[in-house]
Amino acid sequence: MKKAAGTRACRYLRVSTADQRQDLQEDETCELITRRGWQLTATYSDHGISGTRDRRPDLDKMIADARRGKFDVVVVWRSDRLFRSLKNMVNTLAELDALNVAFVSCTEAFDTTTPQGKLLMHLVAAFAEFERTTIVERVRAGIAAARRRGVRLGRPGVDLDLAKAADMRASGLSYRTIASQLGVGVGRLHGALNAKRGVLNGVDGAASK
């Protein structure tokens, strides 16, 4: 990244409800950027949008501008203002790193402008991969256990890969997006994943006896 005097910073702000104030995010991100001696070149802000939404207009614009090389560091008040899940965080930070764009949180230890911050990001990525693998393994074990007991997890004629669906859900995708990609209805997906959770609870209960 460039030296402080030439560092171009942008900030991303998000408030999900009408009663949440954006002032705090604005003040603290501005204070950090000023303290670091960076130049604030852009502010991206999504109002009244939940962090779990797949599409956020200003976030999409920010990522597009990052690809155009318009700034060197992204500053947020807190990481959950930007990321919708751990997997989404890992993927987004990996893309920013490939673009030579750093990431800094005002209220957390996330700061990829430092070696320690980059190390923390690698640890977060490793944990996310471990979590994803564990979820997939538990889903497959639960499905296998259900089949051995004769439990039907799907209607005839409907081919739904529950392990894949659970993996996609763990990555932060919405039910609507997953259902669309797998070619099933949202209600069908909800029901199947809820049944899967019940199976997993049964597996965990049996294992603890």
Nearest C-alpha neighbor of 77 from the set 121, 2, 22, 1: 22
Half-sphere exposure of 146 (CA within 13 A, CB side): 20
Phi, psi of 40 (to 5 degrees): -80, 110
On the 0-12 / 13-18 / 19+ scale of CB atoms within 10 A, 31 is exposed
User: Residue 195 in contact with residue 142, Cβ under 8 Å?
Assistant: no
**DSSP three-state, residue 75:** strand
Rg over CA atoms, the chain: 21
Q: Is 16 a catalytic residue?
A: yes
Which of the following is catalytic: 16, 85, 174, 180? 16
Return the active site residues.
Answer: 16
